[in-house]
Amino acid sequence: MAANSSDKLIIFDTTLRDGEQSPGASMTKEEKIRIARQLERLRVDVIEAGFAASSQGDFEAIRAIAGLIKDSTVCSLSRANDRDISRAAEALAPAARKRIHTFIATSPLHMEKKLRMSPEQVLEQAKQAVRFARQFTDDVEFSPEDGSRSDMDFLCRVLETVIAEGATTINFADTVGYGVPELYGNMLKTLRERIPNSDKAIWSVHCHNDLGMAVANSLAGVMIGGARQVECTINGLGERAGNTALEEVVMAVRTRRDYFNLDVGIDTTQIVSTSKLVSQITGFVVQPNKSVVGANAFAHASGIHQDGVLKARDTYEIMRAEDVGWSANKIVLGKLSGRNAFKQRLQELGIQLDSEAEVNAAFSRFKDLADRKAEIFDEDIMALVADEQQSRESEHYRFVSLAQHSETGEQPVSKVVFSIDGKEIASEGQGNGPVDATVNAIEARVASGAELLLFSVNAITTGTQSQGEVTMRLSKSGRIVNGVGADPDIVVASAKAYLSALNKLHSEVEKLNPQL
Ligand code: KIV
Ligand code: ZN
């Protein structure tokens, strides 16, 4: 049977690689592991865990994920050279199922201006790269970068060659989001028709969202072009305007099965918790009107709609909220809940803590929160576990306590106690508001020299009792990092977020950007 006549659509998640390339979205090894575990629970077919040759940190994260993940294929990106491919193979060695994904640009613009290589040199390098990668695994993916702006005849030659060398997946990249659904789908169709050995590979789509058409282009690639793999990210995270959003593709294919007639293996009930985890870790807040995972995606405000939904849900709802994992802010625990109830809820939420000591630490944070907040929701538990894990991972700066005074007509003052490498220090600052005073207090001792690019506050649940989740994005010497902190007191959450961002800057993880 031709590879593309299968009715299964492979979901290839690249949140941990392309998603991580968003400015400020870089993640620690532990954060990547947490997301990878959740992606496995979501049942994605392939997890692109990173780009092994880009940094030692990414190499180690991929290696750890390869050792932990059993049900999904684990993949590493690599440029089309022996060194990158060897690093990818080494990082993937422990994987039950592994894939090497190699790429080189094929558009005239990229070849001439970026690579400074002739088309013949690019063709030869692509061929050698796939041949080399096949020594390590039978599962090799090749991407012609900037494929959608490449010359059709040249693309046919390159892709025919790499398939002959053993590439099993061909990923037609719309690197700069230039595609238009009909044109992009038809380009893919032409490639498959013109390349004599096209049936030996699975065809894949990889679209960026610069013109807001990533999902539409991907689905056109599937329906017109015959692609059977979609590359996507949670919440559409990714370079510039992002990538194809996994949740949108999956729910489009599921909801309109009458049209697509394709199966996806995703456990859709895990979609919302995956979205929240990615948002929490990266600090990229999901807009309320975002399809499927936005807070308003299933909210009906107008009287006519509410009336219709109460009479018959399908009058205005094409999907069920519970099918994508919305639990409607269920109150789960409170002040009187014991350790066992807490532990059980962690299990139900799919949160895996590695030791009893970690459960105890999280439980003690829970008790502390329950003293200040009567109703504890799933979202609160996820935030406090993330907070606890974050503070364990990045010990350099650690929040201890805060006292703050604000009064109309007076300049706010903050006294912050935090530790640097375990040594507690107290610092005082003034500012034009309580958050500004707090950041000034921290900076009075740290003098990081970082520039604050973004400060955002988001209520984790509903009501004024909600915890505030704060994101602070800092930039220094060309590096951009996001720090996230949660607390019912948004000034405390801000201090935690600021220290978390400073910790990331302190860790000095350098990455190569594959698009450069
Ligand atoms: O957008 C792109 O071209 C990529 C490739 C590395 C597949 O991310
Ligand atoms: Zn990309």
pLDDT class for 508, splitting at 50, 70, 90? low
Closest atom of ligand 1 to CA, residue 14: 8
Write down the mean pLDDT value for the chain: 92
Give the per-residue pLDDT at 126.
Answer: 98
Q: 68 and 33 in contact (C-beta within 8 Å)?
A: yes
Give the per-residue pLDDT at 224.
Answer: 98
Distance 146 CA to ligand 1 centre (A): 8
Is pLDDT of 331 > 70?
Answer: no
Helices (H), 134-230: 152-164, 181-194, 214-223
pTM passes above 0.85: yes
Distance 495 CA to ligand 1 centre (A): 36
Strand-pair partners of 480: 475
Top-tier CATH class for 3-282: alpha beta
Residue range 394-507 in CATH 3.30.160.270: yes
* Residue in 12, 14, 17, 18 to alter for ligand 1 test, most ligand atoms within 8 A of Cβ: 18
pLDDT class for 385, splitting at 50, 70, 90? confident
Which residue's alpha carbon is at the smallest distance from atom 4 of ligand 1?
175
Give the per-residue pLDDT at 504.
Answer: 86
Closest atom of ligand 1 to CA, residue 143: 7
Q: 15 and 274 in contact (C-beta within 8 Å)?
A: no
Distance 208 CA to ligand 2 centre (A): 6
The model's pLDDT over 170-184, given as tens digits with 9 standing for 90+, comes to 999 999 999 999 999
* Residue in 14, 77, 207 to alter for ligand 1 test, most ligand atoms within 8 A of Cβ: 77
Which residue's alpha carbon is at the smallest distance from atom 1 of ligand 1?
175
Distance 471 CA to ligand 1 centre (A): 27
Indicate the domain borders of the chain. Answer: 3-282, 297-325, 331-379, 394-507
**Residues with beta carbon inside 6 Å of ligand 1?**
18, 77, 103, 143, 145, 171, 173, 175, 206, 208, 514
Is pLDDT of 79 > 60?
Answer: yes
Distance 168 CA to ligand 1 centre (A): 17
Q: 66 and 29 in contact (C-beta within 8 Å)?
A: no
Q: Which whole-number Å values give the CA distances from 341 to 345, 347, 356, 363, in the listed order?
A: 6, 10, 15, 10
Which residue's alpha carbon is at the smallest distance from atom 5 of ligand 1?
145
